[in-house]
Amino acid sequence: MTDMTYTIALMGNPNTGKSTLFNVLTGLRQHTGNWPGKTVTHAEGECRHRGALYRIVDLPGTYSLYSNSADEEVARDFLLFQRPDVTVVVVDATALERNLNLALQVLEMTDRVIIAINLMDEAKKKGIHINTKKLAVKLGVPVVPISARNREGIDALLDTVDAMAHGRINTTPLSIRYSPEIERGIAKLLPLVKDVMGDTYPARWIALRLLDGDASLLQALKQPPQPLIKEGNAYACCGSVKSV
């Protein structure tokens, strides 16, 4: 019997310790290369927990999902088209307010999100206390404190990932409300987006990006990027194979 494999995306701002977490989770079971048609590094690996196999994808560090750069397009497209089973947003405990900007954008795209508050050891040194339970209630998704480099909180994070991947966690993500003018524009576009896209993609988020004139998103929707398929120690895409 073949193991069920779940896809876990790691997202976060640069310098949040996201790649450190990736290395802790995957160890030597990882591969690197470039995303198809991009000069952006692609890294993914495997992790086993409680009998399940997880494909861990380390997405590029970004400050937003507004497609202002190749890194942002890669991260956006992966969430939108590959629809990972769980997205772990890694945030810096010492710069929480700034880091939550990306987390809120992710919550607009998917409800299968876990917030991993990293660098808790640094926050403690600076006298910063974070009430993770209250934050989880506010955001409507699980919040797990960790210190990736010290391997603290990793089991709790994996247990939460396991519970969400297997449908044992229901989330109610915080929905950002914009100005009345923007909300009216979203309301007008929503029926059109749902009529064309169905329930496959996050209609409200797409309507918001269309209002912002996101030409890159329009192009991606017309021609979705091809997923990477692992073949042994290589990745195949669009008929070509890239060794890593």
User: What pLDDT is attached to residue 105?
Assistant: 96
Sheet with 41-49: list strands edge to edge.
Answer: 30-34, 41-49, 52-58, 5-12, 86-92, 113-118, 143-145
Give pLDDT < 50 ranges for the chain.
Answer: 1-2, 231-244
Q: Is the dihedral of CA 22, 26, 27, 31 positive or negative?
A: negative
**Residue 101 backbone phi and psi in degrees, to 5:** -60, -45
CB count in 10 Å sphere of residue 22:
23
Q: 3-state class of 155 per DSSP?
A: helix
Q: 3-state class of 62 per DSSP?
A: coil
Structure tokens at 192: 């059109």
Contact 10, 75 (CB under 8 A): no
User: What pLDDT is attached to residue 198?
Assistant: 85
User: What pLDDT is attached to residue 238?
Assistant: 31
User: What pLDDT is attached to residue 240?
Assistant: 30
User: What pLDDT is attached to residue 223?
Assistant: 76
User: What pLDDT is attached to residue 227?
Assistant: 61
**Residue 224 backbone phi and psi in degrees, to 5:** -60, 140
User: What pLDDT is attached to residue 237?
Assistant: 37
User: What pLDDT is attached to residue 226?
Assistant: 60
Which residue shows structure tokens 């997923």?
227
Q: pTM for this structure?
A: 0.89
Q: 3-state class of 144 per DSSP?
A: strand
Give 3-20 pLDDT, tens digit per residue. Answer: 689 999 999 999 999 999
In order of their start, the domains of the chain are: 5-176 (3.40.50.300), 177-232 (no CATH)
User: What pLDDT is attached to residue 231?
Assistant: 45
